[in-house]
Amino acid sequence: MNDTLPSRILGSTGLEVSTLGLGTVKFGRNSGVKYPNQFDLPDDEQIRQLLAQASDHGMNLLDTAPAYGSSEERLGSLLNNRKHWVICSKTGEEFTSGESYFDFSAQHTRASVERSLRRLQTDYLDIVLVHSDGNDLNVINESDCLETLARLKETGHIRSYGFSGKTVAGGLRALELSDIVMVTLNTSYQEEIPVIEHARALNKGVLIKKAFASGHAVLKGQPSQTVQQNLRAVLEQPGVSSAICGTINPQHLEENIAAAIQIG
């Protein structure tokens, strides 16, 4: 069996992404998260091996964020072959002293992207998404965050931009103003499918978060079967380019990759 992940074009961005992306919140943060089990942060060598494992199977999409603790900085120092990776980071949410706060102003958006560039030790970001606080329409309509990202795209600091939201109304509005949406989709939550369908009609990119419901979905039944069922529900949805799945467990990564390869 082919051991390389298939890839798909991300809307009209021109970016080609593996159908499975690696979420990296667990690289840099283990407090204030919603995973079912506690965990220790991996050391540098564990991250290197995980990145090599992912790369060897053709995975090229990495998802990080300023709110993921030290994730950006660790990736910046540990990534090899920058050109292989499509790096998605975010702006809007900060996590300090165990709590999140949000700032969607133009000044903060620009400063956040510039800081991500420094931390990731790169001169461009492939994708930057607005990390919504859940008040999606207010964030989009009452702040300059998307407009600021559009200007950063014009200057070449970022290649594409979009919105990681929590509502159908926000996702639909974001599609009018950006390149990509990141939406939640799994076997127990499908409310945002209208956003995916509209994105497909507009040829906009769709990334999926919480395909395993932050790990809770995999606790039920046989793990390998559950992984397959959850990923199939996501990757067979027309318009979806990639599912972001976070793990620091090499066995889980291998199972996720095998399932995604089988789905095609």
pLDDT at 220 over 60: no
Question: Which of these is catalytic: 68, 124, 161, 189?
Answer: 68
- Structural domains for the chain: 7-263 (3.20.20.100)
pLDDT at 230 over 50: yes
pLDDT tens profile 144-199: 999 999 999 999 999 999 999 999 999 999 999 999 999 999 998 999 999 999 99
Specify whether 189 is catalytic. Answer: no
Tokens encoding 61: 């999409």
Q: Which amino acid is at 79?
A: L
Global pTM reads 0.94
